[in-house]
A and B are shown apart, each in its own frame.
Chain A
Amino acid sequence: MAKKANFETPAMRPYPTIPIIKEGVMKGDGPFFAKPDMQEALGYPIELVDNWQQVALDKMGELLTKYRSLRVYLDTCVKCGSCTDKCHYFIGTNDPKNMPVARQDLLRQVYRRYFTFAGKWFPKLVGAKDLTREVLDDWYNYYHQCSQCRRCSVFCPYGIDTAEISMAAREILDVVGIGQKYCNEIIAKVYKIGNNLGLPEPALRNTLEGLEEDIEDETGVKVRLPLDVEGAEILLITPSADFFAEPHIDGLIGYAKVFHEVGASWTLSSYASEAANFGMFIGSYENMRQISLRIHDAAKKLKVKRIIFGECGHAWRVAYSFLNTLAGPFDFLDKRYPVPQHICEYTYDLIQKGALKLNKAANDDMRITFHDSCNVARGSSMGNMPGGQFIIPREVIKACCNNFYDMAPDTIHDETFCCGGGGGLLTDDLMELRVKGVLPRMEALQQVVDDHGVTHLAAICAICKTQFAKILPYYGFEMDQIISIHQLVSNAIELTNVESTDEK
């Protein structure tokens, strides 16, 4: 049964066609604005400043000198049209401003007008436009319809990445005083409490103790979920959704069982109890760095030797690609391990070594496919091999179950479709966009359901998991058909280490 809504869930297409454009169908006011206190916490003006035009142009000029990506990407697009049918939001909504190049052009038209010779002297000829209130509103609306998934950049002959442009645009919007509520509220919470969900230390400790009891009830083994243990070897940084959202929490149980089984000494941190870094979504180097530094500081304070990240897509991109830049150097950690590592890398290594006893039959009630999360696929890697981010999660899945089927080749690996909720769009005020944007992923899922009887979609991203749990019912699936990879590990693992690994 498809869920009811005040908009129509797009119909699945019998075969992929390029949508006909429908101008203005997603025009609107965009997501909710950030409230003054959230803006203040991040160091932005609390409302649209009077001279916003000048402020925006100054900021754009500053970013152009700071980011080569922005400068080169705004200059080099030849409007070849290669990217026009690649964005899931365009496929799902038909709004032409959701074509990557058109989305870039919202910023490019202003860049040309104020920063290029041709646009200054021949604006009409080159499609340059003044920065009017209408343009600013379009920025707010359409740059919050981009999940920064980078699929367009795969297909651009110059590698133009709309994510870079939309990050710059969001930073400009923040600086003129119109931030997005969802992102900025969450970042403010991280600064105040330590995680996106605003879960304070006592509550977190409580939750973890409850989970320990649950695991013991179920398995009879005392698997621990240690918090703030000084001197532990491994610091696990995981998205706070793992602490209580479904199906995330089953993934967390999986990590704990893996650590327990090999007798690893590990800990979570209440100070850095969040893997996700929403600073990236708003394109703010400064905020991204502040959030990253919490991880650095927690690692130092807890005197750990390794940092491992839980299943979280954007977190892993920031961790893999930016953490060393933003919060490095990490020379106080054990140099034998990459900093940081992904939990899938860790589990994969153990599987390779034969250190885990996995009973594949435990997952025989499921037929599984894997959703490559966009920021893992196109923004990071795993292992020390190109494409490790595709190989390792699949190998972990295959080691834990008998029935694995990949979706169509043009919807996986680096051509994967975003879940529709990434990049700071996982908010109820963007529900229509989220439901429509997931269309191509749902079509690919439907195909493996039809062809192979797939029952479950595994993912390694907190946003993907939450998004799918919410939108699967719109397409006639059940919300619990989305699972964590480490949930499969958790089901399959045979705990032979019955001693509790209590920390000293």
Chain B
Amino acid sequence: MEFWTVFYAVSFYFATFILISGVVYKIYQYAKTPAPLKVPTMPAPLTSSGVVVRILMEVILFKSLFRSNKWIWLFAMMFHGALWIVLLRHVRYFVVEPGLIIDLIQPFGKYGSFIMLFGLLGLFMRRIFVERIRYISSPSDYLMLILLIAIGISGILVSFVTRTDIIQFKAFMLSVVCFQWQHFQLPEYQIPIDAMLLFHLAAVMLLMIIFPISKLLHAPGIFFSPGRNQIDNSREKRHIAPWAVKKFETQQKGN
């Protein structure tokens, strides 16, 4: 059992635990916090299916961003769109039989990484050179982009340059995912010692850990944004938060 194999296996569990528990906690927190008033940005949909469409338009097409700023939209779309394809491509390292779709997506994912990188660099340039965006940026905003760029570049290098033994990596990863720790005794299940791969993985795990404590919460957050997820029906249906009901009751008793 090699040190790096154990280290990366343990780190992977840790990062996954932080990511999932952290995001679940935040989602619980958002869901639990009431929205006491109807505050959708109008005009808003009149039905719940309309709201679903509105949210999907935001999540998939970044509609509001498109209305606002075509450059940010373009770079953000390149980054997020390519990221999804790249992520899907990676599914094959985590399951034994990835299936047809994942197989078909492989070349797109492989070259999509360049689009992702280009989008990230575009966003980074804007953060540096557009005065207004520079003004609102904290060190973490730059570092987040640098981390993503580092993940992209190292991934590209692993894929195109250092050409890691991906069969062996998959063996390692499957053992981690399936909790088959006894495999780690055997040489063919060790993590391949490729500096670029190890760097790539470390950066990804760092991102997973940062996710629930950073602005990456925009991903679950958008689904809870009252400005986007509320129905325009305040005249027809009384909308009231539990804390407000409680308050009214105690006041009435007091009167």
The one of B39, B76, B247 that contacts A69, using a Cβ cutoff of 8 Å: B39
In the complex, A150→B126 CA distance in Å? 25
Asked if B221 is at the interface (CB within 8 A of a chain A CB), the reply is yes
Binds B, one of A70-78, A355-363, A465-473, A496-504: A70-78
Q: Mark B217-255, 1 if CB is under 8 A from A, else 0.
A: 110011011111000101111111101100100000000
Q: In the complex the two chains form, is B64's CB within 8 Å of A99's CB?
A: no
With A159-B41, A339-B235, A386-B44 in contact, do A76 and B218 touch (Cβ < 8 Å)?
yes
User: Within residues 16 to 52 of chain B, which ones have a CB less than 8 A from any CB in chain A?
Assistant: 26, 29-30, 33-39, 41-46
In the complex, A122→B174 CA distance in Å? 35
Binds B, one of A37-45, A227-235, A372-380: A372-380
Q: In the complex the two chains form, is A76's CB within 8 Å of B38's CB?
A: no
In the complex, A381→B136 CA distance in Å? 33
Chain B residue nearest to A377 (CB atoms) is B42
With A68-B226, A325-B234 in contact, do A75 and B217 touch (Cβ < 8 Å)?
yes
Asked if B72 is at the interface (CB within 8 A of a chain A CB), the reply is yes
Chain B residue nearest to A163 (CB atoms) is B39
Chain A residue nearest to B244 (CB atoms) is A285
Q: In the complex the two chains form, is A164's CB within 8 Å of B39's CB?
A: yes
Q: Mark A162-185, 1 if CB is under 8 A from B, else 0.
A: 001000000000000000000000
Q: In the complex the two chains form, is B136's CB within 8 Å of A72's CB?
A: no
Q: In the complex the two chains form, is B33's CB within 8 Å of A116's CB?
A: no
Asked if A65 is at the interface (CB within 8 A of a chain B CB), the reply is yes
Asked if A328 is at the interface (CB within 8 A of a chain B CB), the reply is yes
Asked if B137 is at the interface (CB within 8 A of a chain A CB), the reply is yes
Which residues in A have their C-beta under 8 angstroms from that of B10? none
Which residues in B have their C-beta under 8 angstroms from that of A80? 65, 72, 76, 123, 133
Which residues in A have their C-beta under 8 angstroms from that of B76? 80, 157
Which residues in B have their C-beta under 8 angstroms from that of A66? 33-34, 36, 241, 243
With A21-B132, A328-B238 in contact, do A79 and B44 touch (Cβ < 8 Å)?
no
Binds A, one of B90-98, B101-109, B138-146, B157-165: B138-146
Q: In the complex the two chains form, is B46's CB within 8 Å of A329's CB?
A: no
Binds B, one of A83-91, A207-215, A240-248, A438-446: A83-91
With A68-B35, A69-B226, A158-B222 in contact, do A386 and B45 touch (Cβ < 8 Å)?
yes
The one of A83, A125, A380 that contacts B68, using a Cβ cutoff of 8 Å: A83
Asked if B130 is at the interface (CB within 8 A of a chain A CB), the reply is yes
Which residues in A have their C-beta under 8 angstroms from that of B244? 285, 325
Label chain B's interface by main secondary structure. Answer: helix
Q: In the complex the two chains form, is B64's CB within 8 Å of A157's CB?
A: yes
Q: In the complex the two chains form, is A81's CB within 8 Å of B136's CB?
A: yes
Q: Mark B49-68, 1 if CB is under 8 A from A, else 0.
A: 00000000010001011011
Asked if B69 is at the interface (CB within 8 A of a chain A CB), the reply is yes
Which residues in A have their C-beta under 8 angstroms from that of B69? 81-82, 155
The one of B30, B36, B72, B235 that contacts A81, using a Cβ cutoff of 8 Å: B72
Chain A residue nearest to B66 (CB atoms) is A157
With A377-B42, A386-B44 in contact, do A20 and B35 touch (Cβ < 8 Å)?
no
Q: In the complex the two chains form, is B64's CB within 8 Å of A154's CB?
A: yes
Asked if A414 is at the interface (CB within 8 A of a chain B CB), the reply is yes
In the complex, A84→B26 CA distance in Å? 27
In the complex, A395→B135 CA distance in Å? 43
Q: In the complex the two chains form, is A78's CB within 8 Å of B215's CB?
A: yes
Asked if A311 is at the interface (CB within 8 A of a chain B CB), the reply is no
- Least CB distance from A491 to B in Å reads 30
- Least CB distance from A203 to B in Å reads 30
The one of B34, B67, B138 that contacts A127, using a Cβ cutoff of 8 Å: B138
Asked if B213 is at the interface (CB within 8 A of a chain A CB), the reply is yes
Binds B, one of A266-274, A316-324, A400-408: A316-324
List B residues at the A interface (Cβ < 8 Å).
Answer: 26, 29-30, 33-39, 41-46, 58, 62, 64-65, 67-69, 72, 76, 123, 126-127, 130-133, 135-141, 143, 213-215, 217-218, 221-222, 224-228, 232, 234-241, 243-244, 247
Beyond contacts A21-B131, A153-B41, A340-B235: 4 other A-B pairs, Cβ-Cβ < 8 A, are A69-B226, A82-B64, A164-B39, A322-B37
8 tightest Cβ-Cβ pairs between the two chains A and B: A159-B227, A127-B138, A76-B221, A155-B68, A81-B133, A159-B228, A84-B132, A386-B43
What are 17 residue pairs bridging A and B, where the CB atoms are less than 8 Å apart in the complex?
A67-B35, A68-B30, A69-B225, A72-B221, A75-B218, A77-B215, A81-B127, A82-B72, A96-B135, A124-B139, A125-B140, A153-B227, A159-B58, A161-B41, A321-B38, A325-B234, A384-B46
